[in-house]
Structure 1
Amino acid sequence: MRARAEAAAAAMPELLLAAERLAAAVDPGAHGLRRAGSGDEFWQYRPATEGDPAQAIDWRRSARSDAAFVRERERQTPQAAAIWVAGGPGMDWTGDPARPTKADRARLIGLALGLILLRGGERVAIGAADARAGRMQAETLARDLLAAGPADLPPPGTLRPQRRLVLIGDFLGDPAPVERLVHEAAGIAAGGALLQVLDPIEEAFPFSGAVRFRQPGGDAHQTRNAGALRDRYLARLEARRGQLSRMAEAAGWHFGTHDTAAPPAQALLWLAKALAP
């Protein structure tokens, strides 16, 4: 545990810096939080329309033109979001040392998303931690991401009503727990998104000849003709993605994919739009 804590502390500044750069590269308006409503902060003037009460008119602004204007405030409805990055042994794999592991890419995207949500005034948590607001929470999110355990999914009983949940993982294991979780979330009006992160090798299965496949922390399978397995593998991957997409749609969630050779900003922008109110 001490070694894990020391490794997490050493990696935190680099992860935080990379996430801040990534979040800054994505249009901060993509999350779409700003809208008119009750609040203390001025947002904009708009032309008065029929039905606006007289007390809503800003007479000082209206005196500078021939039209009447209403002073609108920004609606302040802070929401809560929980970000969960899968920690199973398969996430620590990469098909090329020049590419990040799936876990590293997932943590980067998850933290950058958290920064964008904090910037929008939301409360954010990693996993089952308490959701908190404020940009000062950035280091806490980074630390919690790096210190997260090996669980792929939130344990039973950790979901909370109205809180949105983002699950980032490879989703190559048994889909039943994912389906149960999404179904449970839908039952308590907890929306969310699934982002499947894979290595390009897992996307294309570019193997041929004799290959020995080893499951992380598990059994091995050896074949003399790996190329003959490609079509079946790709068909099963497509079927799995179809299953995840259908279960997400049925619950009012969103499902997206990302491979570690693609720019992380693409996945981050997709998540920000998926969580937009």
Structure 2
Amino acid sequence: MSSLDGLPPLRDVIARHELAAKKALGQNFLLDLNLTQKVARASGPLEGVTVIEIGPGPGGLTRALLALGASKVVAIERDPRCLPALAEIADHYPGKLEVIEGDALAFDYYSVQATDTGPLRIVANLPYNVGTQLLVNWLTGPIWPPFYESLTLMFQREVALRIVAEPDGDAYGRLGVLAGWRTDARIAFDIPPQAFTPPPKVTSSVVHLVPRPHPIPCDGDALARVTQAAFGQRRKMLRQSLKPLGGEALLAKAEIEPTRRAETLSVEEFCRLARLL
């Protein structure tokens, strides 16, 4: 991409700013610029789109998003060491990159205004240590349809499989229910460990999630409580795992057999239980 955007190679940027990835921040930098463009393209055409990026690091994906035509990128970065490198990108794309130093878990996403009333998307190589919680927050918010048009996010492949899982599968759990409730989710492609610095021990996957305009009516907090209880003891029958929430009495109201296990329930059945809480 250095020939595409005229900026230095990412390895040079990392060396010049001494940006060794920090395990404590869940950092694994994606240096293959062909892959950063592939991640950016997985969200769809970017012309007229405002993108929120979490954990941009040295800015490889940031550069791809801007080079491929995003109207604006709002990058939330917790590591102050990365700010000078991101400032260089902002200088290269005047008025198109806003860098916010802060914690993505505490950020008010509804404060971001899309450029020219265009769509707003989230595209990110999420830090491993907060990625799942961020997704749960975005899926269970009280306002729906949400502030974003789509989510294009990178996770460890094991997590990605849980997000797109269907009932009766080993990977089906809380994430599969929450994602299936409010979005259509699919795995776009995988990325091998050697594409990152430092290389993680596992393969990564890019997941694309599009909000359903009319999901099953349900309270997100209640659904989170039901799924957490049910899958917290997934090998036990529901009458036991849901005992703190009402057990057999709750299941009887929902017309669900108490001897079933959590992985056999559909998203609709979990929503029925949540509505009864």
TM-score, with length taken from structure 1: 0.37
Larger RCO of the pair (alpha carbons < 8 Å, separation 6+): 1
Report which of the two structures shows the higher radius of gyration computed on alpha carbons: 1
TM-score, with length taken from structure 2: 0.37
